[in-house]
Amino acid sequence: MTVTHISAPVNRPTADPPAATALTLPTAQGDGTVRNGTVCLLPDLIGITPWQRVLLWANGNVQRILSAYHNQPLRIHVLRNDQVLERAKWHLETHQPDANALLLDREVQLLIGDRSMCRAQSKVAISDASYERLFIEEGVGIGQLFHYSKVVPDFHLVRIGHHPDGSFWRLYTLSVPGVHFEIHEHFSADVFQLDTADERTGISAATPNSDTI
């Protein structure tokens, strides 16, 4: 599996940054639950499939799941990675950052080929210099940041939902002492649709190759 991360430098604006294009959350269809050990349960939500639940519960490994499902490399394209200067206009729903924390407003797109699988908007609060170095100077992605640091983040699934077109979304957090991510991910309706080439070769994530355990 190959995961390519295309990093972008942190933009440190000298003037007001352009307004972010927010993904509109529909009315919550049901509350998510906090992960409890190996038990991952969600309330019944019409329109959410078993494979979609796998993504909704993914704990920092969406890239690996999608790359494995499609049997193709996945690219992360950073659309923006802006330092927040006007703290009064910035709000975290799930966390109260330290007064001296570095605040970032980030948006990325997950691509397989030229297809967009997911668009993720993140609010990041960093108060530990080691995480700041990894995330900003070395361009490490969110999932890889915890891997590099050899820590397991606390994961909280805050809300889930879906749109009439079949796309679906989640709001969740990943955190350890020193860094907190509040992430809204919007998955495309065709996120689990295999490319024609995969279908011709018989590749299917739902039906593993008989030679594979």
Which alpha helices (DSSP H) does the chain contain, by range?
A: 50-56, 62-70, 129-132, 142-149, 196-200
Supply the pLDDT for residue 3. 45
Q: Are 185 and 123 in contact (CB under 8 A)?
A: no
The pLDDT of residue 134 is 83
Q: Give the number of domains in the chain.
A: 1
Q: Which residues 6+ apart lie within 8 Å of 184 measured at CB?
A: 23, 25, 120, 121, 122, 169, 170, 171
Element (H, E) at 182: strand 179-187
Pairing of strands 74-83, 154-162: unpaired
First to last CA, the chain: 17
**What's the confidence (pLDDT) of residue 112?**
95
Q: Is residue 207 in a domain?
A: no
Across 142-178, b (16+ Cβ under 10 Å) vs e yields bbbbbeebeeebeebbbbbbbeeeebbbbbbbbbbeb
Domain containing residue 163: CATH number? 3.40.1410.10
Confidence at residue 124, expressed as pLDDT on a 0 to 100 scale: 92
- Per-residue pLDDT reduced to its tens digit, 143-194: 778 878 888 888 888 888 888 888 999 999 998 899 999 999 999 999 999 9
Let me know if residue 200 belongs to a domain.
no
Contact 143, 63 (CB under 8 A): yes
Of the candidates 154, 151, 153, 158, the residue with the CA atom closest to the CA atom of residue 56: 158
What pLDDT shows up at residue 32?
38
The count of C-alpha atoms lying within 13 angstroms of the C-alpha of 53, restricted to the half-sphere facing its C-beta, is: 14
Determine the pLDDT at residue 73: 95
* pLDDT score of 31: 37
- Residue 26 in domain: no
Per-residue pLDDT at 40 = 64
Whether 164 is covered by a domain: the verdict is: yes
Q: Which segments within 55-128 are labelled E, that is strand?
A: 74-83, 102-112, 115-126
pTM: 0.72
pLDDT value at residue 46 = 62
Which of the residues in the chain have pLDDT under 70?
A: 1-47, 196-213
Task: Classify residue 65: in a domain, yes or no.
Answer: yes
> How far is it, in rounded angstroms, from Cα 209 to Cα 71?
12
Residue 198 placed within a domain: no
Asked if the structure places residue 53 within a domain, the reply is: yes
Domain that holds residue 58: 42-192
Query: What integer pLDDT is reported at residue 44 of this predicted model?
Result: 65
- Whole-number pLDDT of residue 131: 87
In the three-class reduction of DSSP (H, G, I as helix; E, B as strand; rest coil), residue 196 is classed as helix
